């Protein structure tokens, strides 16, 4: 199943392997550049059936760091064009994740400390900006204090997401994903641990889900019916009194009739770090059971992610009905040709579908490799 196609609406993914969205912190003023072209283009050469960008902020203040991508203007759209064209020419589907960092915005790049901007960052030219959240509650002590979003600002935000989706469609992007996980703005509305509002966007589960449902509705006004829409969720907060798997299922059921096709199932992040394992430690495939529960509870397709290390593990998850797509993140950084290498190891790749500049040489070397192994 891992190397079989998957059709969602009018888009056919050539295999079930997605490059997971991973921040590169390499943009300038939100503009994609050669780093992103080489990074994402290399993954397309490596055989990923779908390439998803890191979160592209829909407004400047929605970036996590000064190095994050954006899609809030036509100039940002045009910078994506060479990336989209190269990836699609390699046979992969191109997707853009749309997001807003909320109270986790205006932060340091991780290798500079991964905390609030400090004097060293100011010296590099990275200055802080005011941040927004559902409530005036910081992530933790020492973090920036956000301002509470007004209802007018929430409405404007839905428009910003719809405008970004329109730009993505103008690029010919194959799919988009709404980022509602990892403690960023939309997740912080969903979780009762970070949403203390007393209006229509706070309190009950229905109210806390409202902004996500409104944004998805806005996205579908500009994002074509022929193209799939993904939503990334933190399936659980992993903290007492927080967002639960039952809440994720309820949200998925509400999203399905609005035009969502896939739930991308991650976890945690509401109080800082992401990732929650039920056993208390991070094990291979530790989030796949969340994907199974949401898949079974909503009837939506799901994407499994988190410590997916090899092809047989991914194949087993698909065969077991835990997910419909498999997202590979840090393992892809370790091995950008992960899909092709796994296909080779699993005996379903003969180099014919590699880029000609690579496959031509490797196919002719292979008999010598096999002969040497037989002689050992």
Active site residues: 184
Give the bridge partners for 303, in sequence order: 264, 325
Q: What is the DSSP letter of 147?
A: E
Q: Calculate helix-pair angle for 151-170, 74-89, nearest 10 degrees.
A: 40
Q: How far apart are CA 2 and CA 93, in angstroms?
A: 16
User: What CA–CA distances, in Å, run from 126 to 97, 129, 276, 309?
Assistant: 24, 10, 31, 36
| Burial class of residue 260, CB neighbours in 10 A (0-12, 13-18, 19+) | buried
Picking from 345, 289, 288, the residue whose alpha carbon sits closest to that of residue 312 is 345
CA dist 110 and 131 (Å) reads 18
* C-alpha–C-alpha distance, residues 85 and 73, integer Å: 19
Residues in CB range of 98: below 8 A, 6 or more apart: 55, 56, 58, 71, 161, 164, 165, 168, 176, 177, 178, 179, 219
Q: Which helix (H) or strand (E) holds 17?
A: strand 17-19
Nearest to 110 by CA among 153, 68, 48, 169: 68
């Amino acid at each position: 199943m891992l190397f079989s196609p998957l059709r969602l609406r009018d888009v056919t993914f050539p295999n079930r392997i997605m490059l997971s969205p991973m921040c590169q912190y390499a943009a300038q003023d939100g503009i994609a550049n050669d780093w992103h072209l080489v990074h994402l283009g290399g993954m397309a050469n490596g055989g990923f059936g779908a390439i998803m960008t890191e979160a592209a902020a829909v407004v400047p203040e929605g970036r996590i760091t000064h190095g994050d991508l954006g899609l809030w203007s036509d100039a940002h759209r045009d910078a994506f064009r060479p990336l989209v064209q190269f990836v699609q020419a390699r046979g992969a589907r191109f997707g853009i994740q749309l997001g807003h960092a909320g109270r986790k915005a205006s932060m340091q790049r991780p290798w500079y400390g991964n905390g609030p901007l400090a004097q060293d960052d100011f010296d590099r030219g990275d200055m802080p900006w005011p941040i927004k959240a559902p409530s005036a509650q910081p992530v933790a002590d020492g973090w920036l204090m956000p301002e509470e979003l007004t209802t007018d600002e929430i409405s404007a935000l839905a428009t910003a997401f719809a405008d970004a989706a329109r730009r993505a469609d103008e690029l010919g992007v194959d799919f988009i994903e709404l980022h509602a996980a990892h403690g960023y703005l939309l997740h912080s509305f969903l979780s009762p641990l970070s949403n203390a509002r007393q209006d229509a966007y706070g309190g009950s589960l229905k109210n806390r889900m409202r902004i996500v449902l409104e944004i998805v509705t806005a996205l579908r006004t500009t994002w074509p019916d022929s193209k799939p829409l993904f939503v990334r969720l933190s399936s659980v907060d992993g903290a007492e009194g927080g967002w639960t798997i039952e809440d994720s299922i309820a949200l998925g059921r509400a999203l399905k009739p609005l035009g969502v096709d896939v739930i991308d199932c991650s976890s945690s992040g509401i109080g800082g770090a992401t990732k929650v394992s039920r056993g208390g430690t991070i094990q291979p495939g530790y989030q796949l059971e969340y994907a199974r529960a949401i898949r079974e509870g909503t009837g939506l397709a799901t994407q499994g992610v988190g410590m997916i290390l090899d092809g047989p593990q991914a194949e087993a998850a698909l065969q077991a009905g835990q997910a419909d797509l498999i997202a590979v993140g840090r393992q892809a950084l370790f091995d950008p040709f992960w899909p092709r290498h796994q296909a080779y190891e699993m005996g379903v790749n003969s180099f014919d579908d590699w880029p000609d500049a690579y496959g031509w040489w490797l196919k002719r070397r292979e008999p010598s490799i096999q002969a040497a192994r037989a002689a050992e």
